[in-house]
């Protein structure tokens, strides 16, 4: 296990959930985390939490990871503060929920933009500095990378793409001294999961999982496993460890016998989605609350731009406001 002391690590999605817990764990082990997120208030709160013990104020950068220019500005800010970048952790992500026939296409597309293009832009922007340090690239995938649940096709597709990118980049970058790892996480009690549980369809979906696999780790528990893997520059990080077995058996997960419970639940899942859609609309039924608010803000900004109002772009400065 490598010593993380003094290592500069850029972490996206660092205002909450696994990213926030991971940044805290990195700092506890002596690393210098650079906190990147779209949530400026959340970043400020996390920075205060990290300095409560007397540690040095970490660099925080609000950043729209769906903009390459904004990601490049975040990396530039990290280099201006620390002069180097040893690791990049493309952790930020979101989920969209709904059946093919009824899900909001904009929510489906946004999930791909954030999880796939956002991960690509994050790593692409950081690569020159990480390559100079012969460092480590880490990407957050999911059990949904290989176990593809109904109603979550966008999330499953995006996380499968994240794994595929990591596998390709691992081979490409080996000769440059850069290691690439991918995190396969099961249930972790993050805002993404907690907000998902506000939707009755998501609750029913979780009930199709065998009871022993429904347990959700805390972000802190997950962070310890993840940072252990980062310190060892592992190619795969399992959260928790039994996910390794599912990954090895991935070809069996979509046999008719393995899908039986999901197939039986699918009509009920669709009906629950339609119930919410009937009262709240397809957009509200497809997005979690935070992402719904951000979607409405993007729509408002688009409307203002169309009426001639000048807006500040998120790529204009390292600390610019973002949407992710």
CA angle 152, 20, 314 (to 5 degrees): 75
Phi, psi at 138, each rounded to 5°:
-130, 135
**Residue 196 within a domain:** yes
Q: pLDDT tens across 126-184, in order?
A: 999 999 999 999 999 999 999 999 999 999 999 999 999 999 999 999 999 999 999 99
CA angle 187, 36, 163 (to 5 degrees): 45
* Beta carbons within 10 angstroms of residue 62's beta carbon: 26
**Residue 78 within a domain:** yes
Catalytic residue among 121, 136, 155, 273: 155
Share above pLDDT 70 across residues of the chain, in percent, rounded to a whole number: 92
Containing structural domain, residue 227: 8-306
Mean pLDDT of the chain: 89
Of 129, 276, 271, 36, the residue nearest 284 (C-alpha): 276
* Cα–Cα dist 116/161, whole Å: 7
Number of domains in the chain: 1
Q: pLDDT tens across 37-52, in order?
A: 999 999 999 999 999 8
CATH no. for residue 145? 3.40.50.720
The answer to whether residue 155 is catalytic is yes
Range with lowest mean pLDDT among 5-14, 188-197, 305-314: 305-314
């Amino acid at each position: 296990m490598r010593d993380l002391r003094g290592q500069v690590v850029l972490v996206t999605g660092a205002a909450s959930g696994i990213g926030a817990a991971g940044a805290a764990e990195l700092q506890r082990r002596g690393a210098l985390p650079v906190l990147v997120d779209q949530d400026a208030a959340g970043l400020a709160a996390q920075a205060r939490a990290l300095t409560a013990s007397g540690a040095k104020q970490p660099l925080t950068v609000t950043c729209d990871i769906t903009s390459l220019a904004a990601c490049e500005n975040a990396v530039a800010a990290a280099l201006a503060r620390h002069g180097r970048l040893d690791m990049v952790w493309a952790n930020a992500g979101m989920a969209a929920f709904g059946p093919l026939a009824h899900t909001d296409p904009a929510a489906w597309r946004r999930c791909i933009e954030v999880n796939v293009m956002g991960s690509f832009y994050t790593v692409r922007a950081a690569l020159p500095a990480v390559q100079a340090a012969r460092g480590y690239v880490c990407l957050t995938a999911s059990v949904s990378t290989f176990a593809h649940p109904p109603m979550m096709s966008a999330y499953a597709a995006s996380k499968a793409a994240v794994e595929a990118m990591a596998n390709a980049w691992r081979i490409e970058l080996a000769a440059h001294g850069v290691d690439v790892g991918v995190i396969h996480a099961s249930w972790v009690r993050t805002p993404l999961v907690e907000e998902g549980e506000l939707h009755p369809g998501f609750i029913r979906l979780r009930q199709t999982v065998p009871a022993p696999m429904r347990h959700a780790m805390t972000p802190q528990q997950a962070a310890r496993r993840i940072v252990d893997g980062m310190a060892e520059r592992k190619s795969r990080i399992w959260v928790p460890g039994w996910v390794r077995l599912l990954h090895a058996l991935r070809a069996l997960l979509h046999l008719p016998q393995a899908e039986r419970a999901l197939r039986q639940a699918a009509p009920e899942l669709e009906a629950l989605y339609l119930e919410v859609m009937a009262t709240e609309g397809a957009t509200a039924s497809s997005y979690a609350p935070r992402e719904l608010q951000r979607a409405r803000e993007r729509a408002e900004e688009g409307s203002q731009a169309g009426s001639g109002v000048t807006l500040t772009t998120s790529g204009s400065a390292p600390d610019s406001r973002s949407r992710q």
